[in-house]
Amino acid sequence: MGCANTLFRFETDFMTIEPIRAFSDNYIWLITSADRAAVVDPGDPAPVFDLLETRGLTLDTIIITHHHFDHTGGVASLKAATGCRVIGPNNPGIGDIDEVMTEGNEVTVLGYQFAVLEVPGHTLDHIAYYNEAHATLFCGDTLFVGGCGRVFEGTFPMMQGSLEKLSTLPDVTKVFCTHEYTMANLNFALKADPSNVALKAFFTECSLKRSEDLPTVPSTIGHERMINPFLRWDSPAIIDQLKREGRHEGSLAAEVFGAVRSWKDQG
Ligand SMILES: [Zn+2]
C-alpha cells in the first residue's frame, strides 16, 4: 500500500491534494502547503505516519467528517504524536476534537478556507467541507462517485436533502469522497439508469482506470448530476425504470431517492 501512496496528485489551482490509501478501499486525503499537511478522515494512522516521515511533513490539522471508525481510528495516535489540531462534527463520542464544526461555520486549514455543510443521513453527525475558491469538496461517506453512502442513522428524506445540498454546488466542484466504491456503484447505476449514455461511457473509463489501479476519485458535481442515480431523483428515465421494476410509482424526490437506495441495499 505505502509504495502507491505518492503516485497521484490533484492540483486544484494551488491546493495540492493526494490520496493516502488505507484499509481495502479508503482514501485518506492529504492536503499540503510547503511542509505543512492536513489529512481528512485518517482511519488508519500507519500510512499517514509513513508519509509524514518519508516526505518530511508536519501534520497541522486533522479534518473529520463523521464518527465511523474507518474515518477516525487514527485521530488519537496522530494527535498524541504530532500535537496537531483536530476539527470535526458535534459528536462528543469521537473524542479529541478541538474545534467543533456546525452548519455555516468557516474554518481555515493551511490557509485555505472551508465552509462547513451539515449532511446527515449516513450518520447523524456527518458534515462536509467545501472550499469555493478551489472548487473542492470533502464529503466523506455522503456522496460517492456514482453512488452515495448507506443510510445508517438518518432517514431517506434526510439523506436526499443532504445530497441535494451537495448537488447544488457549482458543477466544477471536485468531489473527494472517502471510498473507492466506484465500480460497484456504476454496476448498480447501469441497472437503475440503463439508457444513460454518459454513464455507459464513464463505466468504460473507470474500468480502464481500475484495471491499472488508478483512483477514480475525484469526480465533479456536474458529472455526478449526469451519471449518479442517487442525485437523479428528477430523471424521467429513473422514475420510469423504478416503475418498470415494480419498485415505486411517483416522482417525489425523497421517495424516488428512497426507492433507488432500497434497491441498491437489496443488492
Ligand atoms: Zn461511514
DSSP state of 3: G
Is the residue at 190 inside a domain?
Answer: no
DSSP state of 234: T
Is the residue at 246 inside a domain?
Answer: no
- Tell me how far the alpha carbon of residue 197 lies from the centroid of ligand 1, in angstroms: 30
Tally the domains of the chain. Answer: 1
CATH number of the domain bearing residue 64: 3.60.15.10
Give pLDDT, residue 37: 98
- Tell me how far the alpha carbon of residue 236 lies from the centroid of ligand 1, in angstroms: 30
Q: Which residue has the cell 482506470?
A: 209
The helix/strand/coil state of 136 is strand
Instruction: For ligand 1, an ion, list residues with CB under 5 A.
Output: 68, 141
Q: Dig out the grid coordinates for 33 from the structure.
A: 502547503
Is the residue at 252 inside a domain?
Answer: no
- Tell me how far the alpha carbon of residue 67 lies from the centroid of ligand 1, in angstroms: 7
Is the residue at 22 inside a domain?
Answer: yes
Is the residue at 202 inside a domain?
Answer: no
Q: What is the pTM assigned to this prediction?
A: 0.95
Give pLDDT, residue 3: 41
- Tell me how far the alpha carbon of residue 142 lies from the centroid of ligand 1, in angstroms: 8
Q: Which residues contact 246 (CB under 8 A, 6 or more apart)?
A: none
Catalytic residues: 66, 68, 70-71, 122, 141, 179
Give pLDDT, residue 13: 62
Question: Are the C-beta atoms of residues 262 and 191 closer than 8 Å to each other?
Answer: no
Q: Which domain holds residue 24?
A: 2-183+216-221
Give the DSSP H/E element, type plus range, for residue 139.
strand 136-140
Q: Write out the chain's pLDDT in tens, 267 residues.
A: 344 455 567 776 678 999 999 999 999 999 999 999 999 999 999 999 999 999 999 999 999 999 999 999 999 999 999 999 999 999 999 999 999 999 999 999 999 999 999 999 999 999 999 999 999 999 999 999 999 999 999 999 999 999 999 999 999 999 999 999 999 999 999 999 999 999 999 999 999 999 999 999 999 999 999 999 999 999 999 999 999 999 999 999 999 999 999 999 997
Is the residue at 228 inside a domain?
Answer: no
Give the DSSP H/E element, type plus range, for residue 144.
strand 143-144
- Tell me how far the alpha carbon of residue 164 lies from the centroid of ligand 1, in angstroms: 19
Is the residue at 95 inside a domain?
Answer: yes
Is the residue at 209 inside a domain?
Answer: no
